[in-house]
Amino acid sequence: METFSLKGRTAFITGGNSGMGRAIATLFAAHGAAIGIGHHQRETQCAAVVDELRASGAKAAYTACDVSSETSVEAARAWCAETLGPVDILVNCAGISGDKPFTHISVADFDEMLGVHLRGSFLITRAFFGDMMARRYGRIILFSSQLAYKGAPGLVHYCAAKAGIVGLVRALSYEGAPANVMVNAIAPGPVETDILGNLSAEWRAMKAAQLPVGRFGQPDEIAPTALLLASEIGGRNYCGQNLSPNGGDVMV
């Protein structure tokens, strides 16, 4: 068996319509996986990605999925069961951002950030975890951030949400690992995606100046980390980890 082969596996990727999620979907498909993509209000964009994957010979489909909504997540789970069959690999790339000084962060701002990132990670993982445990196989990959460890001015709500994901992954890995359901996270540094574009020019300039590599990352530089964690052999001994392709940002 090839170390990074995903042949015969099915992956469901939220936020797979753009950025890191799209790069992961493309790489997974190239390694043999059937791909389901969950999007939130991005149907046209998502349909284009699925068309590209199908043109490459992959099995691919998409559905709406607001990870912060229990009803929407349950509908996506049911769609996966009917359309794709059992999901072997779950990747949650859905996310939002936005920088504000702490005194300007409203309760609504805080709730929205935790709702998408932390509540969303909980809901989408819970939806698929039980079935993976019953089948005694699964790879769950959530997205944290290097800012969960180091923090950043103007991003208190974002850092808090991402730190919560670190705890979720570490705790859940104890429950999943005995059944070969490996739960891990990727904690990237700043990556050129739509989310980064939601941050102010001042924040972007400040951040770029700090990075040892002198630039922001690219989505296709993050996707191989997901492939490692998703693969049957390559990901077999990763448990409760937060792998961090961050361009040296954690050293700053």
Nearest to 148 by CA among 183, 113, 124: 113
Helix axes 19-30, 219-230, angle to 10 degrees: 50
Residue whose token pair is 């609504």: 108
Separation between Cα atoms, residue 100 and residue 238, nearest integer Å: 35
Query: Can you name the residues that pair with 186 across neighbouring β-strands?
Result: 143, 243
Q: Which amino acid is present at 109?
A: D
Separation between Cα atoms, residue 140 and residue 173, nearest integer Å: 9
Torsion sign, CA atoms 91, 55, 6, 247: negative
Torsion sign, CA atoms 219, 94, 42, 207: negative
- To the nearest 10°, report the CA torsion of 171, 229, 114, 23: 180
> Residue 238 catalytic?
no
Task: Given the residues 137, 149, 158, 174, select the one marked as catalytic.
Answer: 158
Separation between Cα atoms, residue 10 and residue 138, nearest integer Å: 10
E strand or H helix that includes residue 139: strand 138-143
Residues known to be catalytic: 158
